[in-house]
Amino acid sequence: MSLKSNLHNLKEKYKGTKMAPAFNALHTFLYLPNETTHGGTHIKVADDLKRTMNTVIMSLIPCLIFGMFNAGYQHYLALGEISQATGFFDSVFWSWDNLVIGLWKVLPLVIVSYGVGLAIEFVFAVIKGHEVEEGYLVTGMLVPLIVPVDTPLWMLAVAVAFGVVIGKEVFGGTGMNILNPALTIRAFLFFAYPTWMSGDKVWVHGAVARDKAIAAGENLDAISGETILGSLAQGKEITYSVWDMFTGLIPGSVGETSAVLILLGGLFLIFTKIGSWRIMLSSVLGALAMGLIFNGVVDAGWIGEGSKFYGLMSTEFWHHLLIGGFAFGTVFMATDPVTASQTNKGKWIYGFLIGFISILIRVFNPAYPEGVMLAILLMNVFAPTIDHYVVQGNVKRRMKRLKAKTA
Amino acid sequence: MGLLSKKDAKLITDPLADNNPITIQVLGICSALAITAQLKASIVMSLSVLFVMGVGNVVISLIRNIIPSKIRIIVQLTVVAALVIIVDQVLKAYAYSLSKELSVFIGLIITNCIIMGRFEAFALGNGPWKSFLDGIGNALGYAVILVIVGFFRELLGSGTLLGFKVLGDPIEKTGLYAIGYENNGFMLLSPMALIVVGIIIWVQRSRNKDLIED
């Protein structure tokens, strides 16, 4: 007997019992159901939630693979064992050693994220007696991509549990949440364990452990893996070229460094009509606008080189798109259909403000020079309000038209 | 219970759970969020509120028939303010560091909605003994939540309970910290108190479905 019919039989056996949703979910996740809908009229759409989710995951895979190589590359580069890669296709970067480190560090993050998250989804489905929701499929893939590579696994597990229960399940599960669950998880980590989420040590595998060894008296060289944003916030020179920023050969959270692969994923989402191009475009415009304002302030001489904001303010405005988590957040998280604005006009406003506020926080947050997470969470909260006013505005306009016609 | 009739006993036990001032009536949230990062502060705050409510309810109940109803809020405020000042002065005299820690929140007991709520809703219409029980009951209900929230926030946020390092020493890496555990800084921030209160409400309502309003 094949696995499929086995699963089908299990499902039949447990039909009507409490555990039924769990078996059902396993079955439909792996295979098409054996039975089809019968009787009555029904509409069939190719795009169900599961396929939507899988499309997003597909668009994330390049980032994940790149992130694995980058984890190893940054590690060996910091140790001084390899020279800096000359370009995106350099074999120094795409080496077997790099991948081994990446697999060793990143796969556990993925496994913990999915394991804990799906376990909670299953438990809630069984308690509530409904089918397991697919919502966690994407969240589970996003989470390992937006945390530093050395994040302790137990912290990730705690954060995932918090994010899924408090961020999503209490509101009623997938489709009912106000905040993006992946960002809720990251925000939890950020506020709960700030030493693991910011600073110049956490972005490169091994840097924290080495630091501790040095503190304990061992004779080692410290590794500093400051992100570009971190360096800029401290007014340091950055050694990375624009091409490095664009291709992603820079330290950062696991999957968010490569702007080019994120762009690729974004285009794929737009092409499959799953991600909203309005949000992505308006968010980029918002970021550019804020960047231009800051550049203008610097050019006008209102802020001197001595100011602690000078480094980030004087960064060329379009560099902001390439560094930090901005690109990743804009493409994969701002466009989350559940938490974003629903109306087209609303999407423009929502996206623009995300970009605008991201750069604003990035420049002015002294402790942590990145703002895209907080900007998206903030706008998640405001998305329903934006929609409300867009809809009301439309109603008002049409009422006026109606009055003009009947008068 | 010999001392209390069944009805009187209900005045004390009801606010502890099914009619809890914080989780059911959602009153007095502000102080519950502000001062529960430490268990000790929660306990002192609870005791202060217990004193103010117990005595305040009796005083209001005793003079309830001579308060002109138009100015009753002002009279109530005067009574609370007087009691709060007593608490504040006692704390300043005997527990200065704690009083520093609680800072304005002792003074803000005056505006604690539970107190004004009980004066209005109960003490103005009942005798002193019943009012006393009601005040004590509601203050205890408030205290229960404060202590639960304070317990979890201090334990998970600082790894201590009442200042004792129950989970080990985070700097010398003993106890749980030796195996990589770290304190959850989020627990020390006020939003986490709101979430903990929310979880208590969630647990309470899923145990007793009658409490769920549509």
Task: Judge: A192–B202 Cβ closer than 8 Å, yes or no.
Answer: no
A192/chain B closest Cα distance in angstroms: 4
- Distance between CA A212 and CA A206 in Å, rounded? 10
* Cβ neighbours for B47, distance < 8 A, ≥ 6 positions apart: B143
Assess contact for B43 and B71: CB atoms under 8 A.
Answer: no
Average pLDDT over chain B, rounded to an integer: 85
DSSP string for residues in A315-344: S-GGGGGTSTTHHHIIIIITT-TTTS--SH
Cβ pairs A/B, distance under 8 A: 25
Q: Does A364 touch chain B (CB under 8 A)?
A: no
Count the Cβ atoms, other than its own, within 10 Å of residue A36.
8
- Distance between CA B20 and CA B22 in Å, rounded? 6
Assess contact for A205 and A149: CB atoms under 8 A.
Answer: yes
Q: Three-class SS of residue B161?
A: strand
| For residue B1, pLDDT beyond 50 | no
Q: pLDDT tens, A93-138?
A: 888 888 888 898 899 999 999 999 999 988 888 888 777 777 788 8
Assess contact for A263 and A332: CB atoms under 8 A.
Answer: no
Structure tokens at A387: 């929609």
* Cβ neighbours for A385, distance < 8 A, ≥ 6 positions apart: none
Task: Judge: B185–A170 Cβ closer than 8 Å, yes or no.
Answer: no
Q: How do the domains of chain A map onto residue ranges?
A: 49-383
Assess contact for A233 and A369: CB atoms under 8 A.
Answer: yes
pLDDT bucket at A297, cuts 50 / 70 / 90: confident
Q: Best mutation site among A189, A193, A195, A196 for testing chain B: the one with the most B CBs within 10 Å?
A: A193
- Distance between CA B4 and CA B6 in Å, rounded? 6
Q: Among partner residues B180, B185, B198, which is closest to A191 by beta-carbon distance?
A: B185
Query: What ipTM describes this predicted complex?
Result: 0.82
Beta bridge partners of B161: B164
Q: pLDDT tens, A196-220?
A: 887 777 788 877 777 777 777 776 6
Residue A238's nearest CA partner among A358, A322, A307 is A322
Instruction: Give the E-state strand segments of A25-67 in sequence order.
Output: none
Assess contact for B150 and B31: CB atoms under 8 A.
Answer: no
Task: Judge: A192–B180 Cβ closer than 8 Å, yes or no.
Answer: no
Task: Judge: A155–B182 Cβ closer than 8 Å, yes or no.
Answer: yes
Structure tokens at A88: 């995106």
**What is the H or E stretch that residue A109 is in?**
helix A96-128
- Distance between CA A317 and CA A297 in Å, rounded? 12
| For residue A282, pLDDT beyond 90 | yes
Give the residue, A84 or A333, on which the prediction is more confident. A333
Average pLDDT over chain A, rounded to an integer: 84
